Amino acid sequence: MVSRLVLVLGDQLSPGLSALRQADRAQDLVVMAEVMEEASYVRHHPKKIAFTFAAMRKFAARLRAEGWRVAYTRLDDPANSQSIPGELLRRAAEHGTDAVLATEPGEWRLIRALGELPLALCQLPDDRFLCSHAGFDAWAEGRKVLRMEYFYREMRRKTGLLMEGDAPAGGKWNFDQENRKPARDDLFRAGPLRFDPGETVKEVLDLVDERFPDNFGRLRPFWFATDTGQAEAALDHFMRHHLPCFGDTQDAMLAGDRFLHHALISPYLNVGLLDPLDVCRRAEAEYLAGRAPINAVEGFIRQILGWREFVRGIYFREGPGYPGRNALGHRRSLPAFYWGAGTRMNCLAQVVAQTRDEAYAHHIQRLMVTGNFALLAGVDPAELHEWYLAVYADAYEWVEAPNTVGMSQFADGGIVASKPYVSSGAYIDRMSDYCRGCAYSVRAKTGQGACPFNLLYWHFLDRHRIRFAGNPRMVQMYRTWDRMDAGRRAEILRDASVFLDRLDEGAAV
């Protein structure tokens, strides 16, 4: 006898999930399903698919061990209808109930699909986040512009994290000025904690190998954590070996070190293997114990308590049309080298290769290399959105779309970012060692050998002059451009156009 179906999605693998809290172990049936519709609505990286399925299988086993009844559909089950709504309907017919208990999905697409089902759906808020939809709307109401920094301060006050009474710990809300250093190679940097695949993971790897042979990305070696115990171990490892230096190298990039002092916990947070408040409290405890400095801990907590919650608030406030925005009218196709076709630009070649191998790139690589190039070149933000959603193990639309469409491409017209994140090659040269191994010269500003970022940077500013020249944060850029002599400006624009033409022709750039 089954009273209700309790839906648990692949990114809802938390024992404290609202739907599980409200369910009755004796009467209700948990429904989990690996389905083609979710695994293929974009061409996900094989590591991302394997991570999700393996974590789902382990979570189902855990629920069973804790006394839950679980109806789990594997991808290759002959009866699999291959969609979430289809599996709910099938289980409902099988067990003679039409009552479904669910936690709100993190994507409009699925929210809509569940809402259209001819079943009695009770949808609960996803309270694994620190700010509810209502809380975010209350904060946003009446503000002309929404800036993460002010939202973050409010979240610090609300949670008490890094607060000394009413004042921020260390006397400042934000220590980013101390956090913009380049990095040096360091053989003693520990790197992320890696896990050998056990039986469950090996079985999933074989399945993904067989079913998704042509998706961009390398499946092996596979070393992600796939259950709460492993994710906790990865977090402990980060706290001990990397958090103290997190701030110093946060914006740096090195060809020989793909992870630097980053946490690599976003896949674990986003599927629910780690809890965001717990992660922030653990980082705060490291500061209070004197084991990590304030610039590192504040910077780390701001990413989770500030950025992660802020972008989710924007995604749900802006509604289902948000990922399709294109405020700058960019229409260029995504260059083939994003899918591994090869490029002479070493920064892009490094980041794309890393993405192919690891299903991971850190924030500055996503923002200032792949994102920066696409924005400068005028790539269609919808195509880029699909790329980011596909290639990273941590990519779910609620977090990926505001970061890509908003922060990185300014395609929302400035809701997430107050100015476009564009830079010439000089920024990449300062923050990385990529330029040393590049076929282009970062110092050359014109001509065939000039760094394409140098050319496209001015091309971007010039073609969007009407929109951006009045932005107080961009006045200096336009002054520099206007001070160049007319002949030089014309040469840069001509060289940039030649480069873009070659890009469109599919030439090896």
Ligand X SMILES: Cc1cc2nc3c(=O)[nH]c(=O)nc-3n(C[C@H](O)[C@H](O)[C@H](O)COP(=O)(O)OP(=O)(O)OC[C@H]3O[C@@H](n4cnc5c(N)ncnc54)[C@H](O)[C@@H]3O)c2cc1C
Interacting span for ligand X (CB under 6 A) from 173-181, 208-216, 336-344, 393-401? 393-401
Helix or strand run (H / E) with residue 69:
strand 69-73
Cβ distance 423 to 368 under 8 Å? yes
Question: According to the binding rule CB under 6 A, does residue 293 interact with ligand SF4?
Answer: no
Question: According to the binding rule CB under 6 A, does residue 217 interact with ligand SF4?
Answer: no
Taking alpha carbons only, the member of 393, 40, 10 closest to residue 212 is: 40
Provide φ and ψ at 321, rounded to 5°: -80, -10
Which does residue 451 touch among ligand X, ligand SF4, none (CB within 5 to 8 A, set by kind)?
Answer: ligand SF4
Interacting span for ligand X (CB under 6 A) from 109-117, 130-138, 366-374, 481-489? 366-374
Give me the helices (H) in 215-258, please. 228-241
Which does residue 394 touch among ligand SF4, ligand X, none (CB within 5 to 8 A, set by kind)?
Answer: ligand X
Interacting span for ligand X (CB under 6 A) from 225-233, 264-272, 448-456, 475-483? 264-272
Which does residue 434 touch among ligand SF4, ligand X, none (CB within 5 to 8 A, set by kind)?
Answer: ligand SF4
Q: Which is nearer to ligand SF4, 310 or 453 (CB)?
A: 453
Question: According to the binding rule CB under 6 A, does residue 253 interact with ligand X?
Answer: no
Q: How far is the CB of 239 from ligand X (least distance, A)?
A: 11
Q: How far is the CB of 344 from ligand SF4 (least distance, A)?
A: 8
Which residues neighbour 353 within 8 Å (Cβ) at sequence distance 6 or greater?
340
- Taking the alpha carbons at both ends of the chain, their separation in whole angstroms is 64
Which does residue 425 touch among ligand SF4, ligand X, none (CB within 5 to 8 A, set by kind)?
Answer: ligand SF4
What mask of x and - would describe binding to ligand SF4 in positions 25 to 64, judged by CB under 6 A? ----------------------------------------
Question: According to the binding rule CB under 6 A, does residue 72 interact with ligand X?
Answer: no
Question: According to the binding rule CB under 6 A, does residue 394 interact with ligand X?
Answer: yes
Q: Which is nearer to ligand SF4, 9 or 435 (CB)?
A: 435
- Name which position in 14, 270, 295, 354 contacts ligand X (CB under 6 A): 270
Question: According to the binding rule CB under 6 A, does residue 204 interact with ligand SF4?
Answer: no
Q: Which is nearer to ligand X, 228 or 403 (CB)?
A: 403
Tell me the site size for ligand SF4, rule CB under 6 A: 14
Which does residue 477 touch among ligand X, ligand SF4, none (CB within 5 to 8 A, set by kind)?
Answer: none
Task: Say how far apart CA 374 and CA 303 lie, in whole Å.
Answer: 24
Task: Say how far apart CA 84 and CA 62 lie, in whole Å.
Answer: 21
Question: According to the binding rule CB under 6 A, does residue 458 interact with ligand SF4?
Answer: no
Q: Which is nearer to ligand SF4, 68 or 453 (CB)?
A: 453
Task: Say how far apart CA 165 and CA 367 lie, in whole Å.
Answer: 35
Q: How far is the CB of 191 from ligand X (least distance, A)?
A: 12
120-124 and 5-7 strand pairing:
unpaired
- Name which position in 155, 263, 328, 500 contacts ligand X (CB under 6 A): 263
Which does residue 71 touch among ligand X, ligand SF4, none (CB within 5 to 8 A, set by kind)?
Answer: none
Residue 450, sorted as left (phi over 0), alpha (psi -120 to 50) or beta, turns out to be beta
Concatenating the DSSP letter of every residue in 71-136 gives EEE-TT-TT--SSHHHHHHHHHHHHT--EEEEEPPSSHHHHHHHHTSSSEEEEE--TTSSS-HHHH
Which does residue 272 touch among ligand SF4, ligand X, none (CB within 5 to 8 A, set by kind)?
Answer: none
Question: According to the binding rule CB under 6 A, does residue 51 interact with ligand X?
Answer: no
Q: How far is the CB of 216 from ligand X (least distance, A)?
A: 16
Task: Say how far apart CA 181 and CA 246 lie, in whole Å.
Answer: 11
Is residue 345 helix, strand or coil?
coil
Which residues neighbour 400 within 8 Å (Cβ) at sequence distance 6 or greater?
385, 388, 389, 392
Question: According to the binding rule CB under 6 A, does residue 128 interact with ligand X?
Answer: no
Taking alpha carbons only, the member of 250, 243, 234, 251 closest to residue 284 is: 243
Task: Say how far apart CA 162 and CA 371 lie, in whole Å.
Answer: 32
Question: According to the binding rule CB under 6 A, does residue 445 interact with ligand X?
Answer: no
Question: According to the binding rule CB under 6 A, does residue 451 interact with ligand SF4?
Answer: yes
Interacting span for ligand SF4 (CB under 6 A) from 122-130, 304-312, 340-348, 378-386? 340-348
Task: Say how far apart CA 467 and CA 106 lie, in whole Å.
Answer: 33
Cβ distance 324 to 401 under 8 Å? no
Question: According to the binding rule CB under 6 A, does residue 423 interact with ligand X?
Answer: no
Question: According to the binding rule CB under 6 A, does residue 347 interact with ligand SF4?
Answer: yes
The residue type found at 214 is D
Cβ distance 419 to 468 under 8 Å? yes
167-168 and 163-164 strand pairing:
antiparallel
Distances in Å between the Cα of 452 and the Cα atoms of 99, 479, 507 are: 57, 21, 14
- Name which position in 29, 35, 264, 297 contacts ligand X (CB under 6 A): 264
Q: How far is the CB of 385 from ligand SF4 (least distance, A)?
A: 23
How much of the chain is helix, strand and coil, in % rounded to 5?
50, 5, 40
Question: Interface with ligand SF4 by CB under 6 A: which residues?
Answer: 345-347, 425, 428-429, 434-435, 438, 440, 442, 451-453
Question: Interface with ligand X by CB under 6 A: which residues?
Answer: 262-266, 269-270, 300, 303-304, 307-308, 311, 362-363, 366-367, 371, 388, 392, 394-395, 399-400, 403-404, 407-408
